[in-house]
Amino acid sequence: MEAIEGLIQGFQVAMLAENLLAALIGAALGTAVGVLPGLGPLGGAALVLPFTYSMEPTAAIIMIAGIYYGGMYGGSTTSVLLNVPGETASVVTTLDGYPLTQKGRAGPTLFIMAIGSAVAAFISLVLLTFFSPWLARFGLRFGPAEFFAVMTCGLIVLSRVSGGSLMSNLFPLMIGIVAGTVGQEAVSSAVRFTFGYFPLIAGLELVALAIGLFGLAEVLRLVENPAGTPRVKTVRVRDMVPSREEFSRSVGPWGRGSLVGFVFGLLPGPSAAMSSYASYQLEKKVARGRAEMGKGAIEGVAGPEAANNAAATSGMIPVLSLGLPFSATLALILAALMIHGIQPGPLLPIQHPDIFWGVIASMFVGNIMLLMLNIPMIGVWVSMLKVPIWLLGAIVIVIAVVGTFAARNNLTDVYVLTGAAAAGYFLHKLGFNLAPLILGFVLGPEIEKHLRQGLYLSNGDLTYFIERPIAATLWGITILTFLVVFLWRRFFGERARELDAIESGDDE
């Protein structure tokens, strides 16, 4: 009953004119940045973040959340039409989405994708409504040792499961943690890593760092490869109605993908991308049309699309209930809350029920808006791909510079923006994953705070951080995860390489 009453209160908040407008703008912008290959929801959220400072906290979070789950919709459009994923979670959609387009079924595929994403979001939201209060109550048992363990373990696990080598994730993570210590320390007021430059006493600005790493750096990559955005034929609305068989074959994958995505959204790592891959592998084993997988099976689109949208929704649970973002975009949502003076965590449903339940209810409303936008406006999103690269880049640069300077009226932030853009460009060229950098920047100061609190409570006894049951369990799970990943790659990785070598020999 508590969850139902809270959700009713949330709908009262979400239906306010300002919050409805924020949800609509966020959903539309999210779809737009998802359609543009490479920009993605993270870049869109980073560009919008400084403009949310003057908004009410609830409206600000609703808008950024709309960009997050809206980007999941838009990113899949180019996967189907162009074989170009708009963001990482849509890579799996290209495997069957583009072959369906080549068969002349682009319209029905986009329709199935939109309906499945909405269904998955609603299933995940229902589970989120009842699961979040329980997790928040459980979070009340957390002290400095538990928060230190869950944040540190989350970052460590993320560095191992985000794809790529350990160093490609760990090195940017360390940079982010160090960057978060620049400026005046909160407890002792000691000044750190400013090198005598007075403006850095206030610390580095998250907005400048995020926009530079993911917004301007992407512009540099687009300028370097202007042919990276191909052209596409117009898709008419009347050609988008699926057949009865296509619809019936999609129902099962929608349900399975929703459950897979919800579970992955609660775990550290790139949950949307991992859930899409897991859902695709599941459909290859149980789908009615599994023989066609990879050649244009509708299940290969319906399942993964449901999974990545469910993961985007359930990923809000650890952010709101524990203050733990498991992706860079969710870290921006956490930062937006903290900028408005609101501390996410177990007490959020008690201290700020309007924000907690308002954001959850707004996601119901926002997904309905997305469904209404996504089907009739496919032609509009596709036409955005025809914007010249030079014009698109100029618009992004202007928005980035103005937004960064407006955040604190500090020219130093513009310098940081420029440096972050250069760093993001070269780190990406070198194969480093940039998402851990933002997570380290946001969570690093929080880890330091809980470490100092724990040391103070235990009189400097480090065993305090491992002797409490919840903390000890978290450390044990982290060690077990590392062992499983190591053994999996050690044995199954070698087996996969042997099979590849055998197949290569057969081909020759």
Rounded CA-CA distance 51/55 in Å is 8
- pLDDT confidence of residue 504: 45
Rounded CA-CA distance 190/178 in Å is 15
CB 393 within 8 A of CB 217: no
> Residue 453 — pLDDT band, cuts 50, 70, 90?
confident
b vs e for 359-386, b when ≥16 Cβ sit within 10 Å of the residue's Cβ?
A: bbbbbbbbbebbbebbeeebeebbebbe
Instruction: Work out whether strand 183-184 and strand 191-192 pair parallel, antiparallel, or are unpaired.
Output: antiparallel
Asked if the model's pLDDT at residue 18 lies above 50, the reply is yes
Render 128-146 in DSSP notation, one character per residue: HHHHHHHHHHHHTT--HHH
Helix axes 17-35, 57-82, angle to 10 degrees: 30
Average pLDDT score over residue span 185-194? 79
Give me the percent of the chain exceeding a pLDDT of 90: 1
Please report how many Cα atoms fall inside a 13 Å half-sphere around the Cα of residue 331, on the Cβ side.
30
pLDDT in tens, 22-36: 888 888 888 877 766
Question: What are the counts of helices (DSSP H) followed by strands (DSSP E) for the chain?
Answer: 24, 2
- pLDDT confidence of residue 507: 45
Answer with the residue of higher pLDDT: 199 or 231.
199
Domain range summary for the chain, segments of one domain joined by +: 2-467
Rounded CA-CA distance 31/270 in Å is 19
DSSP state of 295: S
Helix axes 435-457, 144-161, angle to 10 degrees: 150
Contacts of 269 (CB under 8 A, 6+ apart): 157, 158, 161, 162, 326
What's the predicted TM-score (pTM) here? 0.64
AA letter at 341:
G
- pLDDT confidence of residue 499: 45
Q: Which residues pair with 445 in a beta bridge?
A: none
Answer with the residue of higher pLDDT: 413 or 136.
413
pLDDT in tens, 351-361: 888 888 888 88
CA 338 centroid distance within chain: 18
- pLDDT confidence of residue 503: 45
Asked if the model's pLDDT at residue 438 lies above 70, the reply is yes
AA letter at 301:
V
